[in-house]
């Protein structure tokens, strides 16, 4: 991120991952100046990956704006996903569960990025770490980034969210924090493990996306979209 691309005021985990794709934590924390600065970036689509419950707790500031679209990444009341998430011991476990049990949602998000009006696209969830991190990683793979580059982008959320998690700890009981603590670190190996899981089960990302509804022509167009401003 260049000096002219500093995060809009109020955002903790904002950055440009690819020429055509930026990522962020929830936009509900934007200051008035931050909201103005975000608008000035002229995102053609703002994709909110959060659930209905999260939106109710932290209302999206751009609800009703033509660019805003809510596409929850995690399907509602999906038994297999819920069971896998309950058994998760790391962020990698959560992200591999999403790959396995939410392919339709993943393909929908990527299709919306492809079909967005001309201009850069912004994706975000609550902390901007794992749901956003998974979509950003898949986009990085499509754009031809190395695994090291993809892992570095994922891991950059760690320093960005240090104060966020410090605040979260003060708001929780010791028992609640003990449940959350294993998922606080943002380890490069978590996204590496997730992408390796995809390789082992599908061979490569294109095969996974083709099987779930994104044809080769769309992937070619999406690669072009992600690699240009």
pLDDT of residue 3: 38
* Bigger pLDDT: 80 vs 77: 80
Element (H, E) at 136: helix 131-142
Pair of tokens at residue 40: 């000035």
Q: Measured between alpha carbons, how far is 178 from 97 in angstroms, rounded to an integer? A: 22
Structural tokens at position 124:
């975000």
pLDDT at 4 over 60: no
- Considering the segment(s) 3-226 as one domain, its CATH architecture is Alpha-Beta Complex (3.90)
The pLDDT tens digits of the residues spanning 109-141 come to 999 999 999 999 999 999 999 999 999 999 999
pLDDT band at 229 (very low <50, low <70, confident <90, very high): confident
Instruction: Specify the pLDDT at position 9.
Output: 97
Chain segment 163-212, per-residue pLDDT in tens: 999 999 999 999 999 999 999 999 999 999 999 999 999 999 999 999 99
User: Are the C-beta atoms of residues 123 and 137 closer than 8 Å to each other?
Assistant: no
Q: What is the DSSP letter of 9?
A: T
64: left (phi over 0), alpha (psi -120 to 50) or beta: left
Checking if the pLDDT of 1 tops 50, the result is no
Q: What is the pLDDT of residue 77?
A: 84
Q: pLDDT value at position 5?
A: 64
What is the average pLDDT across 62-89?
A: 94
């Amino acid at each position: 991120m260049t000096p002219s691309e500093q995060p809009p005021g109020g955002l903790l985990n904002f950055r440009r991952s690819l020429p055509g794709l930026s990522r962020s934590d929830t936009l509900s924390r934007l200051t008035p100046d931050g909201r103005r600065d975000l608008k000035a970036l002229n995102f053609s689509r703002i994709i909110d990956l959060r659930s209905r419950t999260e939106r109710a707790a932290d209302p999206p500031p751009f609800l009703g704006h033509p660019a805003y679209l809510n596409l929850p990444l995690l399907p509602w009341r999906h038994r297999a996903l819920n069971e896998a998430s309950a058994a998760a011991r790391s962020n990698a476990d959560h992200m591999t569960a999403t790959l396995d049990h939410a392919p339709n949602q993943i393909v929908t998000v990527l299709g919306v990025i492809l079909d967005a009006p001309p201009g850069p696209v912004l994706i975000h969830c609550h902390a901007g770490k794992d749901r956003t991190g998974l979509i950003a990683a898949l986009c990085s793979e499509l754009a031809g980034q190395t695994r090291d580059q993809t892992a570095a982008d994922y891991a950059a959320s760690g320093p960005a969210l240090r104060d966020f998690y410090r605040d979260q700890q003060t708001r929780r009981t010791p028992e609640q924090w003990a449940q959350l603590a294993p998922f606080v670190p943002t380890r490069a190996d978590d996204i590496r493990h997730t992408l390796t899981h995809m390789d082992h089960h599908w061979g490569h990302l294109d095969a996974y996306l083709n099987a779930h509804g994104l044809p080769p022509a769309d992937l070619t167009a999406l690669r072009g979209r992600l690699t240009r401003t």
